[in-house]
Structure 1
Amino acid sequence: MNRTAAISVAALTLVALSGCSLLRGSDGALPAPSDPATASATATPTPSATADGTSDTERLAASATPRVPTPAPTEAAAPDPELTPIPAGTVLTEADVASPKGSIHFHLRVVADGDDTFTAQYTGFTSTLPVPVGVGFFEKARQVGDALTYHGVGDHVLGGPTSGPQSVDVPLDGSGVDPSGLTELVVASAAAQGQDVPVEIALDKVLAVSTVRWSVPARQTNVHPVDGGVRANASGPVTATTASGAPKAYTVRSGDLIADVALRFGITVKDLVWLNQGLQVFGDDQELYQDTSLNLDPLGR
């Protein structure tokens, strides 16, 4: 046998002997064949339970499933805005009205209709003037002898010339839900254009002014705007406040979005639209038109 062959035979013999010694136990016996099912079960650790009774397997399964966030409140979930109405038939003001020279007399009474509208009731109207006579409610003071360019809220021609006793009910369209801002009832000439009459009773001359003293019951509302301060997409100014300091009016700035303006004042979009009937927006983000004046006072609707 040559040297190379002898080395090969020795190597093979060593491997065979080593293999035998590695497979045998310490007592020299070969291990029993393993059961595949038993081996598999032994390889998988038994799930352990936590103090709350949740196993490792259950915790792993839960962590693998994404948590669904709680939906944020929606507009639909918010209550509808409301303002308690003044009961129908409630008398809000009442007075006798007369012109300075006694030519005109009548009795005024304003009553609630029960649906946020009001009616002015004129009774016992008489006039000895040779011209028709009209009336209207005003926010700003007028003086006898002034010439009107605007006839006021609820303007109506009562009668004339030289009318006998008359009574009429007139809706106060345009008064809003609280007419108490209309502080004066103005009586003016309704003479025809160019009618030949003394200048003091010519068309639109003020003939009498009566201060209106209102007694409006307190109203309840669930809409209470509070200014949270300038923010992105709601950076316009508050231009008026109520007597209690609450925001009353807001002017839209370029880029203002209706949802952000509502958020700034702590109300819903539904509330903001209720406060501003006919409010318009544009674009997918519902942007408000620049310089729009928004009402924030439930009594100013």
Structure 2
Amino acid sequence: FSRINLSKSQRSLIRLELEKEFSNVLNYLQFIISTYNQIDILSKIFSCLSKWLEFGISILKIEILFEYLFNSLNNDNLFDDVYNCLSVLFTSPDALKYPSTFSCLLPYVIQFETILDQCLTIGNKEKTECITKLIMQFGENLVQLIVQMSMTTNSQSQILSHNFCRLVMKCTEMKGQYPIEETCSALTFSFWNTLEEEIISINEKTNQDILLELFRSYFENLIEVLISKGQLPDNENIFTYEDKELFRCYRSDIIDTMLCMYNILGNRAMKGKLN
């Protein structure tokens, strides 16, 4: 739609008409779900949803399909299409317009841990990386929501916020030598940097101090994990030339992330960790 050469008025009229018809599209998608079980047909549902989300349809209009969408991620035959659809959903520029809706999605995201564990058990690196990417896309785009939920008086929201951070940390400290045995830890650095920036940006000093205490344990643990992950292997011969270059970039990203942690924790928190 964005690539079609139209005047502004024409584009607005067409968009309005398409949005009017989405209810019919949604009804048809629900009919397909309830009637068919062929993978090739069902996979088109997620491609269709992805296109409508990219078009800009409100996520509120597809809430009825959320449970089906997330449950379908467990279907290996539908995984790629569901992954692409969730990726579009999680990276929506309008995500923060719907905090209550995305708060309701957070429990589904935390349940990705089950799929992650299954992938790690069977050694499916590609799928492990996809699940990690989804977790990070949600976290990076909605870090403000994660922070807000941690400060609410609602204990369930607080628990969800911390469980999400725990899940990210699990991805950060994933066992194995980067980039040979695992490639997921590097995907998490941006979330921690974004979280640090969000806390630092809080204008009210009291709230900033509260947030620092809430997330301090994650930041301190992160430093220890990064120091460990950034160490050279005992036998560097396991690296190909390409591996060495990837690991060099990885260590550079680790340094940048540790500088962010230093920025928020200061000297006292860093003392003793670099010995």
TM-score normalised by length of structure 2: 0.19
Name whichever structure is richer in strand by fraction: 1
Name whichever structure is richer in helix by fraction: 2
Structure ID, larger Rg: 1
